[in-house]
Amino acid sequence: MRCQFQAILCGQKTPTLLDKTGGREVWRAGYPVGMIPALTTLLVFQLIGEALVRALSLPIPGPVVGMALLLLMLVARPSLQHAIKPTTQTLLQHLSLLFVPAGVGVILHLQRLGDEALAIGVALVVSTLVGLASAALTMAWLMKRVAPLPPPPSLPADGSAP
């Protein structure tokens, strides 16, 4: 037990502590493991973010402040990542799902979208392409100038199948 904790403190890959009853992993690196503790962590950080935004009347959204705070926490306590990683991965893998309810709101605006279809459609397409191209070109250009270290070769993003 003692050496396990020592290994944990040194941040090594450690054998995990199992509970006696089912052999299920309940603690890892000093943090509870599982979906509920991870969700609690995320929600508490969002809550702190929202509270800070309201209290200081910041123009930034609460969840973004929560994200920044969680990132700081992870930097301060890297072992926390083991406790939240599986849940954050699941949540982010299905990020698209979370946009569906807002998207269905399209039925509220069919009238306006129909009346101004040309302007809205062209503006959406043009600005999205402009945004993609300008961000990519700016970053590629600055990377050549500022950080000329070539990145390791890997699969092209958004290219072929994964």
Does 96 bind other proteins (CB under 8 A)? Our answer is yes
How far is CA 58 from each of CA 2, 54, 67, rounded to the nearest angstrom? 46, 7, 15
Does 49 bind other proteins (CB under 8 A)? Our answer is yes
**C-beta closer to other proteins: residue 9 or 143:** 143
Residue 66: count other Cβ atoms within 10 Å of its Cβ: 22
Q: Report the candidate in 3, 7, 14 with the shortest Cα–Cα distance to residue 82.
A: 14
Among 18, 43, 51, 54, binds other proteins (CB under 8 A): 43
Does 7 bind other proteins (CB under 8 A)? Our answer is no
**C-beta closer to other proteins: residue 18 or 72:** 72
**C-beta closer to other proteins: residue 8 or 70:** 70
Residues 59-78 that bind other proteins (CB under 8 A): 59-64, 66-68, 70-71, 73-75, 78
Task: Measure the CA–CA gap between 113 and 138, rounded to whole angstroms.
Answer: 33
Terminal Cα-to-Cα distance of the chain (whole angstroms): 41
Number of residues that bind other proteins (CB under 8 A): 85
Among 22, 23, 103, 114, binds other proteins (CB under 8 A): 103
Our CA angle for 72, 17, 5, nearest 5°, is: 60
Does 98 bind other proteins (CB under 8 A)? Our answer is yes
What is the SS3 assignment for 56?
coil
Min dist. Cβ of residue 20 to other proteins (A): 31
**C-beta closer to other proteins: residue 20 or 144:** 144
Q: What is the DSSP letter of 160?
A: S
Does 126 bind other proteins (CB under 8 A)? Our answer is yes
Do 61 and 53 touch, CB atoms closer than 8 A?
A: yes
